[in-house]
Amino acid sequence: QSALTQPASVSGSPGQSITISCTGTSSDVGGYNYVSWYQQHPGKAPKLMIYEVSNRPSGISNRFSGSKSGNTASLTISGLQAEDEADYYCSSYTSSSTWVFGGGTKLTVL
Amino acid sequence: EVQLVESGGGLVKPGGSLRLSCAASGFTFSSFSMNWVRQAPGKGLEWVSSISGGSGYIYYADSVKGRFTISRDNAKNSLYLQMNSLRAEDTAVYYCARVLDTAVITWGQGTLVTVSS
């Protein structure tokens, strides 16, 4: 049950696009289309942004998109806004019927 | 409105026990699998345990297996986490989470567990 690998931090200016990667193995990210992404602002509970690799829940801006290639999933945020500044976590269901999260990425909007 | 409200957190000595509860409302509780997810201070999210709607499927992270027990009472719309043999590294905010397929669609606000002498 090793954590998925995410960059510790990314940054971008308002209006730009950024991408956060999430690398796992064939037993989790690479083996299933069960990757989800969560946004967490300081002191708040996480919020689902993307599920099943690329699906957005109702109410989530289309500026958020997800994709996957092999053992690596990605979250792209386009048209960066100040309120996007937060921590982002990926998660995957695994072959053992367990869950695994990434270490988290701090997004800074410059 | 869908709500998950955790309770039962607090300060406990190493080796001690604590029972967390999560009161669910606003949805058909028995129809959803539930997770416990924790977050140590300043750290990332860690999945702890999962339980299916009818309690037939239960899974644990290796870090808590044999020490923690997840359960639910669908008649009371409640989820529980019995934590025994607590260690300093169990110190975290514990979130109750509603699952749909393979994503957490609803999170509680969390309850803080501190393990310290």
A95: burial class by Cβ within 10 Å (0-12, 13-18, 19+)?
A: exposed
The predicted model gives B4-28 an average pLDDT of 97
Mean pLDDT of B30-51: 97
**Beta strand ranges found along A18-85 (DSSP E):** 18-23, 35-40, 47-50, 64-69, 72-77
Q: What is the pLDDT of residues B16-26, one digit of tens each?
A: 999 999 999 99
Closest CA to A51 of B29, B39, B104: B104
**What pLDDT, on a 0 to 100 scale, did the predictor assign at position A26?**
93
DSSP, residue by residue, B9-50: -EEE-TT--EEEEEEEESS-GGGSEEEEEEE-TTS-EEEEEE
Average model confidence (pLDDT) for chain B?
97
Per-residue model confidence (pLDDT) at position A2: 84
Interchain pair A98, B59: CB under 8 A: yes
What confidence score (pLDDT) does residue B27 get?
A: 96
Chain B closest CA to A54's CA: distance in Å? 12
Given a cut of 90, whether residue A1 has pLDDT beyond it is: no
Q: Residue B61 pLDDT > 90, yes or no?
A: yes
Average pLDDT over residues A1-17: 94
Q: Name the residue among B47, B50, B102 with its Cβ closest to that of A101.
A: B47
The predicted pLDDT at position B101 comes to 87
Facing residue for A98 by CB, picked from B45, B61, B107: B61
Section B89-97 average pLDDT: 98
Percent of chain B with pLDDT over 70: 100
Kindly state whether A41 is in contact with chain B, defined as any CB-CB distance less than 8 angstroms. no
Mean per-residue pLDDT of chain A: 96
How many contacts does A have with B, using Cβ atoms within 8 A? 64
Q: How high is the pLDDT of residue A106?
A: 98
Nearest-by-Cβ selection for B47 from A40, A98, A103 = A98
pLDDT tens digits along A57-100: 999 999 999 999 999 999 999 999 999 999 999 999 999 999 99
Q: What are B's interface residues with A at a Cβ cutoff of 8 A?
A: 35, 37, 44-47, 50, 57, 59, 61-63, 95, 100-105, 107-110
Closest CB from A1, A36, A40 relative to B62: A1
Touching check for A108 and chain B: CB below 8 Å? no
pLDDT band, residue B50 (cuts 50/70/90): very high
Amino acid identity, residue A39? Q
